[in-house]
Amino acid sequence: MEENVLNEAIEIPIDDDPNSFRHLNNPADGIKPIVKKYLNPPKAVEQTGNKFYFTDGEAKVEAIVVTNEIIRIRLAPHGVFLEDFSYAIPKDVKPIKSEFTLIETADEYRISTTSINCHISKKNFYIAFSDKNEYVTSVDSTSMHWEENAQFGGYYVYGSKVCHPDETFFGLGDKPTELNLRGKRFTNWNTDAYSYSWGQDPLYRTIPFYVSVNEGIAHGIFFDNTFKSHFDFGLQQSDSTSFWADGGEMQYYYIHGPHIMDVVKRYHVITGTHPMPPMWALGYHQCRWSYYPETKLRAVTKGFRANKIPCDGIYLDIDYMDGYRCFTWNRKYFPDPKKMIADLAADGFKTVVIIDPGIRVDDSYEIFREGKEKKYFCRRCDDYFMEGHVWPGRCQFPDFTNPEVRTWWGGLFDELVEMGVAGVWNDMNEPAVFGAGTFPDDVRHQYDGHRGSHRKAHNVYGMQMVRATYEGLRKLMKNKRPFTITRAGYSGLQRYASVWTGDNVASWEHLAIGNIQCQRLSMSGVPFCGTDIGGFSGEPDGELFTRWIQLGTFSPFMRAHSAGDTKEREPWSFGEPFTSINRKFIELRYRLLPYLYSTFWEHHRYGFPILRPVVMQEQHVLKNHYRQDEFTYGDKLLICPVLHPGQTSRKVYLPKGKWYNFWDNTVVEGGDEVEVATPLDTIPLFVKAGSVIPEYPVQQYVGEKEIEEVKLNIYYSDYEANSFMFEDYGETFAYEQDIYLEKKFAVNGTEADFVIQQSLEGLYNPRYENYAFSIVGLPFRPLNIMIDNKWVTNFTFINNKLEFRHNKKFHTVKIMK
Ligand code: MIG
């Protein structure tokens, strides 16, 4: 018999092994050598459709052409793949038609699509990817490898890519550190991280997806593995980027660029986008742990109306429940919740309630009894129930990876929905357990029929909880869009929920951390995100709170929240001048609603992130890879928060092109840093020349007023520029049946005129017909204005700002010298 030399054990003393990652994470492993096995050279390939199987005799590698720009790689150390299943990838993702060929040469196998090549080296099984110009974007620095796990079975799995001297990295979700991840190492294991600090790892979410940029060319790697996973971006070895996991399969998607935007959009092609939120969810939200009893809650909502500060979302934290039992009410604090919610709704407030996964062990509690009878709670390996202490006391926990449990859980919201609850906030779903931190590894999960231990299910538990919530609400609320928010999650969570960044701190440092986290989440496929404005724990002063409100105005999700042991914290709590400034910014949020809503549509429909760090505008400029304060919201507004107390001015980098300072309409040439004054009542905010920014009148809540006129804020440019506005019913799923309206605006200025053109696409008809035009930066005094061949006689022109109104749909506006 032939001696089996394949997968020969390679034993390396731990300290010399460049890949001895486990040693670093667990020093106790240091005593025994780690035995890693590497792929031997590939011997053969087989093809079935878009799937290619390479083998070295024993191990198998699968390469799947997902689209022309996405290739998925999978490793089976002993030739047998696990059943193909992923929570990140929705089942109904249809393969996009792609064309590909397989070529074998003396040195390699090569799969080519119309956009990229995947090279499998015959020498060492290294895998590389290149573009149509044969430019190699990604290549293994060692072959995929693994290590047997004696305790649980399966393998620790490893992949390593060459890391170039100037290569930079972005992504991975909510890591509270520099935006650029180069030179750092991370772990993904969803963790309740109360008052986390700069650099703390891991936090609440697992998004094992990164974007690399080298020599101005971007690609992405999505390591779809739910076990505890790790990434090293050139820390251990400056010339190697590695990712590995404590179980599961080495399985990743190579996602081609060349632009960062292409990579992010393509990541959304496979993991899905966020559904359109109800428009009110883009308004301001007020939260606290907790507003109770009812009189207190009503006083707060009245405070908003009395102070004329707009607000849509009002939150009930855990104290609304009876002894923290989910789906119950504390009737002492809230004697008639239905009436209360109805009264709040009549005043424009949408009530959002918190729900935790822990169910109190209590036979007099119906939810517990039912879950127990139906065997819906998680159990340990030897069949004992998984028990742990959380807010309600001793608890058991539904197994949200069981579809039947999800359906049950989703249905439990019926009473809350019937009472008028508009949104659900999912907390503690890492899952968090007092003392122990989380579940022990041996807890079993149904995992949609692909059973596994908690090692495999931990990082998806929270996502499946909020999925159950979202899907349940969607059924119960009929055709209305539910609003959900989650703390924990895994890639793909954006199909079900928004997120907040967890228990931050009322400090200037945390204002900076939150700014980075939101940008990072955006680039990592989690578009609808925000921080606890003001900081969850600790006390902000008026200045910090106001600066946070200013940044929050440009967070996709805008909510103030604070811990129970802090002072009252509403936007008027700090007195003047803070109250007025906070009002001014929250009003700005409402004025910009149609812009935010349109930007959200761009995300939903096309996979654009909402927040875009400046590196996304100019990835060929290496310096931009290290900028992390300024970002754009959509592609028209650039924001740079003020991150220090007493700051009267700050430097802001503006990408190339012409920008208008939002506050005084002065024009600034981009391509460099500019010093911007930062009086307390402004945030550096710039508008790209050529933009058309739609504006609604200020409302105290979404739907307060029938919109009768939309203002178009137009920023003159002497080149052609495009903008668009999205409108629909704002709260139904009619958009899925294409009932919406996309208004496209093109502007172009010459020496003699400035032309604005609008084209309409879609089946929705807004009720208003009136437009107020405001055109800034016009370089000439207008003599004639024509709208669709009719003269406009009534206009004003002061300080280069031209204003006039029009009471009909329009196609072409021509402003002539
Ligand atoms: O153990 O529900 O992050 O937002 O106010 C704390 C009480 C539980 C943690 C959440 C926070 C919430 C708090 N919760």
* Tens digit of each residue's pLDDT (9 = 90 or more) over 188-246: 999 999 999 999 999 999 999 999 999 999 999 999 999 999 999 999 999 999 999 99
For residue 652, tell me if it sits in a domain.
Answer: yes
Structure tokens at 663: 């506050």
CA 602 – ligand 1 centroid, Å: 32
Q: How many CB atoms lie within 10 A of CB 204?
A: 24
Which residues make Cβ contacts (< 8 Å) with residue 153, sequence separation at least 6? none
Mean pLDDT along residues 769-794: 96
- Three-point CA angle 296, 297, 303, nearest 5°: 90
Note whether 637 and 655 are same-domain residues: yes
In a domain, 628, yes or no: yes
733 to 278, 411, 700, 737, 748: CA distances (angstroms): 9, 20, 24, 8, 35
- State which of 221, 239, 271 marks the end of a domain: 271
Read off the pLDDT of each residue in 575-599 and give the average, rounded to a whole number. 98
| Probe residue for ligand 1, chosen from 203, 289, 438 as the CB with the greatest number of ligand atoms within 8 Å | 289
Is the separation of the CB atoms in 563 and 317 below 8 Å?
A: no
Say whether both 718 and 782 belong to one domain: yes
Residue 526 has a pLDDT of 98
Residues in contact with ligand 1 by the CB-under-6-Å rule are 289, 317-318, 354, 427-428, 487, 502-503, 561
pLDDT-based confidence at 24, cuts 50/70/90? Answer: very low
Centre of ligand 1 to C-alpha 322, Å, is 17
* pLDDT at 98 (0 to 100): 82
* Residues 266 and 335 grouped into a single domain: no
**Nearest-angstrom CA–CA distance, 618 and 624:** 7
**Which tokens sit at 255?**
């996602």
CA-closest candidate to residue 351, choices 307, 306, 292, 411? 292
Give the Å distance between the CA of 563 and the centre of ligand 1.
8
Q: What is the pLDDT of residues 317-370, one digit of tens each?
A: 999 999 999 999 999 999 999 999 999 999 999 999 999 999 999 999 999 999
pLDDT at 604: 98
715-753 burial: b if 16+ Cβ within 10 Å, else e = bbbbeebebbbbbbbbbbbbbeeeebbbbebbbbbeeeb
For residue 747, report the distance from its CA to the centre of ligand 1, in Å: 48
Clarify whether 427 is annotated catalytic: yes
Q: Which residue has tokens 């921080």?
A: 531
For residue 600, how far is its CA from the centre of ligand 1 (angstroms)?
27
- For residue 65, CA distances in Å to 46, 250, 431, 548 come to 14, 17, 35, 45
Residue 19 — pLDDT band, cuts 50, 70, 90? Answer: very low
**340 C-alpha to center of ligand 1: Å?**
23
**Residues 599 and 665 reside in one and the same domain:** no
Domain assignment of residue 284, yes or no: yes
| Domain contains 775 | yes
pLDDT number for residue 97: 74
Mutation test of ligand 1: which of 287, 288, 317, 505 has the most ligand atoms closer than 8 Å to its C-beta? 317
Q: Do 600 and 641 fall into the same domain?
A: no
Cis omega before residue 202 (within 30°)? yes
Which ligand 1 atom is nearest residue 503's CA? 3
Tell which of 654, 687, 720 closes a domain: 687
The CATH code of the domain that includes 655 is 2.60.40.1180
> What gap in Å lies between CA 456 and CA 418, rounded to an integer?
36
Q: Are residues 628 and 579 in the same domain?
A: no
Q: Determine, yes or no, domain membership for 696.
A: no
Q: Write the DSSP assignment of 308-374 as a string of letters.
A: T----EEEE-GGGSBTTBTT---TTT-S-HHHHHHHHHHTTPEEEEEE-S-EE--TTSHHHHHHHHT
The number of beta carbons lying within 10 Å of the beta carbon of residue 180 is 21
CA–CA dist 487, 499 (Å, integer): 6
Give the burial class of 803: count Cβ atoms within 10 A of its Cβ; 0-12 exposed, 13-18 middle, 19 or more buried: middle
Nearest CA to ligand 1 atom 13: 289
- For residue 87, CA distances in Å to 81, 489, 633 come to 17, 11, 29
Residue 95's pLDDT is: 63
Cα(503) to centroid(ligand 1), Å: 7
β-bridge mates for residue 211, sequence order: 170, 220
Inform me whether the pLDDT recorded for 22 exceeds 50: no
> What average pLDDT does the segment 629-638 reach?
98
The beta strand positions in 451-604, using DSSP E, are 452-453, 483-486, 489-490, 498-500, 529-530, 532-533, 558-560
* 88 has a pLDDT exceeding 90: yes
Mean pLDDT over 152-178 rounds to 97
CA gap 476, 463 in Å, rounded: 20
Question: Are 549 and 636 part of one and the same domain?
Answer: no
Q: How many CB atoms lie within 10 A of CB 453?
A: 20
Token readout for 586 is 């929250």
Please tell me the total count of domains within the chain: 4
Evaluate whether residue 693 is within a structural domain: no
Closest CA to 728 of 716, 718, 714, 738: 738
Q: Ligand 1 pocket test: which of 285, 287, 426, 428 has the largest number of ligand atoms within 8 Å of its C-beta?
A: 428
CB atoms within 10 A of CB 197: 12
Identified catalytic residue from 317, 430, 471, 587: 430
Asked whether the predicted pLDDT for residue 802 surpasses 70, the reply is yes
The C-alpha atoms of residue 496 and residue 465 are separated, in whole angstroms, by 10
Query: Atom of ligand 1 at shortest distance to CA of 356?
Result: 2
Do residue 670 and residue 522 come from a single domain? no
Query: 785 - beta bridge partners?
Result: 815
pLDDT of the residue at 597? 98
Q: How confident is the model at residue 733, as a pLDDT?
A: 97
Distance, CA 417 to ligand 1 centroid (Å)?
22
What is the value of pTM for the model shown? 0.95
Ligand 1 atom with the smallest distance to the CA of 536 is 4
Which residue's alpha carbon is at the smallest distance from atom 11 of ligand 1? Answer: 503
> What are the backbone dihedrals phi and psi of residue 382, each rounded to the nearest 5 degrees, phi first?
-95, 20
Looking at the predicted structure, is the pLDDT value of residue 539 above 50? yes
For the CA of 194, the closest atom of ligand 1 is 3
Under a CB-based contact definition with an 8 Å cutoff, are residues 537 and 222 in contact? no
Of 207, 188, 153, 152, nearest in space to 440 by CA: 152
Q: What is the pLDDT of residue 32?
A: 54
Specify the ligand 1 atom closest to the Cα of 288. Answer: 5
Whether the predicted pLDDT of 17 surpasses 80: no
Q: Are residues 64 and 150 in the same domain?
A: yes
Judge contact between 786 and 767, C-beta under 8 A: no
Q: What is the average pLDDT score of the chain? A: 95
Active site annotation includes 753: no
Residue 635 is a catalytic residue: no
For ligand 1, what atom is nearest to the CA of residue 561? 4
Pair (765, 812) in one structural domain: yes
- Give me the catalytic one of 56, 192, 427, 570: 427
Per-residue confidence band for 25, with pLDDT thresholds at 50, 70 and 90: very low
Q: Which of 239, 271, 303 is the last residue of a domain?
A: 271
**CATH code at 589?**
3.20.20.80
The Cα 796–Cα 792 span in angstroms is: 11
Ligand 1 mean position, distance from CA 379 (Å): 25
Do 631 and 614 touch, CB atoms closer than 8 A?
yes
Closest to 553 (Cα-Cα) out of 294, 301, 284, 261: 284
The yes-or-no verdict on residue 21 having pLDDT over 90 is no
Q: Tell me the residue range of the domain where 774 lies.
A: 706-816
Same domain, yes or no: 534 and 618: no
Give the nearest ligand 1 atom to 390 CA: 1
Domain membership of residue 781 (yes or no) is: yes
Q: How many CB atoms lie within 10 A of CB 331?
A: 10
Strands 658-661 and 770-776: unpaired
Which helix (H) or strand (E) segment holds residue 296: the answer is helix 294-306
The residue annotated as part of the active site, out of 174, 192, 503, 731, is 503
pLDDT digits (tens, 9 = 90+) for 733-767: 999 999 999 999 999 999 999 999 999 999 999 98
Mean pLDDT, residues 587-611 taken together: 98
Query: What mean pLDDT do residues 446-463 have?
Result: 98
Residue 359 identity: I
For 429-439, b/e burial (b = at least 16 CB within 10 A) is bbbbbeeeebb
What pLDDT sits at residue 91? 76
Ligand 1, pocket-test mutation among 427, 499, 565, most atoms within 8 A of CB = 427
CA distance 743 to 783: 27
**pLDDT higher than threshold 50 for residue 9:** no
What residue's CA is closest to ligand 1, atom 5? 289
Ligand 1 atom at minimum distance from 427 CA: 10
To the nearest 10°, the Cα dihedral for 42, 47, 50, 53?
-30
CA proximity to 156, closest of 34, 282, 41? 34
Residues listed for the chain: 817
- The alpha carbon of 559 and the centre of ligand 1 are apart by a number of angstroms equal to 14
Structural domain includes residue 574: yes
In this predicted structure, what is the pLDDT of residue 308? 98
Are 225 and 152 in the same domain?
Answer: yes
Judged against a pLDDT cut of 50, whether residue 110 lies above it is answered with yes
